Amino acid sequence: MTIATAARPHLWRRLAAEFLGTGLLVAIVIGSGIAASCLSPYDIGLQLLENSVATALGLTVLILVLAPVSGAHFNPVVTLADWWLGRRTGHLPLVDVAGYVVAQILGGLGGAALANTMFETATSFSTTERVAGGHLVGEVVATAGLVLVIFALARTRRGHIVAPAVGAYIGAAYWFTSSTSFANPAVTIGRIFSDTFAGIAPASVLPFIGMQLAGGLVGILLVVLFFPTTRPPAAPRLA
């Protein structure tokens, strides 16, 4: 989920990284959700704790491993924000954006299938309805905050801490947002195929994605407001 470096790998390598990273992220979310349901079947709070810790740690590792290849977006909203904020420099061409989004969605579907296979769970549509006013607002907040965290750090040349910062933010957002912070259209689509508390019913997907895109726009506006240009971090005060 970081800004890619100037000497970027070939597009097919970046797309493969986005496919793998998004797939493993969804496998972590769904797999830990299945495990939590088995380990703590009567304690929803403990299930959420197990799910959120696994997701936060797993996401941090995936970003650290794959950021040098593709920037580790794993999220169409992050890709769109990266394109928009860097459009004047041609940082991420539209053809790359389209490829990233397709790779992320396909990766999310593959990750759901992988998690279900590992736990020998039938792949079926989720029955967990999530469309409610509070949940939709939660998705705007979660996604806006995610975009702000990533690009605030990138624009102040603190990209080396994006991985732990994003992991920490997503882990916290599981708890402080009513929607449990999906904040990612590709992950949302993948979670259709998990009939556990980590899943989302197909009818809830489009409203969630709509709010995630709205949250991404809010996040971009906040980045432009607070960090209009890329700049070095402030020098430490010695006295």
What is the percent of the chain with per-residue pLDDT over 70, rounded to a whole number?
93
Dump pLDDT digits (tens) for 62-103: 999 999 999 999 999 999 999 999 987 778 999 999 999 999
**Res. 28: pLDDT tops 80:** yes
What would the mean pLDDT of 154-182 be, rounded to a whole number? 97
117-124, long-range: CB < 8 A, 24+ apart:
118/27, 118/31, 119/31, 119/34, 119/35, 121/34, 121/194, 123/193, 124/193, 124/195
pLDDT at 56: 98
CA distance 141 to 135: 10
84 contacts 218 by C-beta, under 8 angstroms: no
**Res. 3: pLDDT tops 70:** no
22 contacts 58 by C-beta, under 8 angstroms: no
CA nearest to 143, candidates 212, 74, 82: 212
CA distance 86 to 92: 7
pLDDT at 233: 55
Is residue 2 very low, low, confident or very high in pLDDT (cuts 50, 70, 90)?
Answer: very low
**Res. 190: pLDDT tops 80:** yes
What would the mean pLDDT of 108-136 be, rounded to a whole number? 93
Is residue 4 very low, low, confident or very high in pLDDT (cuts 50, 70, 90)?
Answer: very low
Helix axes 94-118, 76-85, angle to 10 degrees: 160
Is residue 234 very low, low, confident or very high in pLDDT (cuts 50, 70, 90)?
Answer: low
Query: What is the number of other CB atoms lying within 10 angstroms of the CB of residue 41?
Result: 10
What would the mean pLDDT of 223-231 be, rounded to a whole number? 89
pTM for the full model?
0.91
| Every domain of the chain and the residues it spans | 11-226
Q: Between 36 and 89, where is the model more confident?
A: 36
- CATH number of the domain located at residue range(s) 11-226 in this protein: 1.20.1080.10
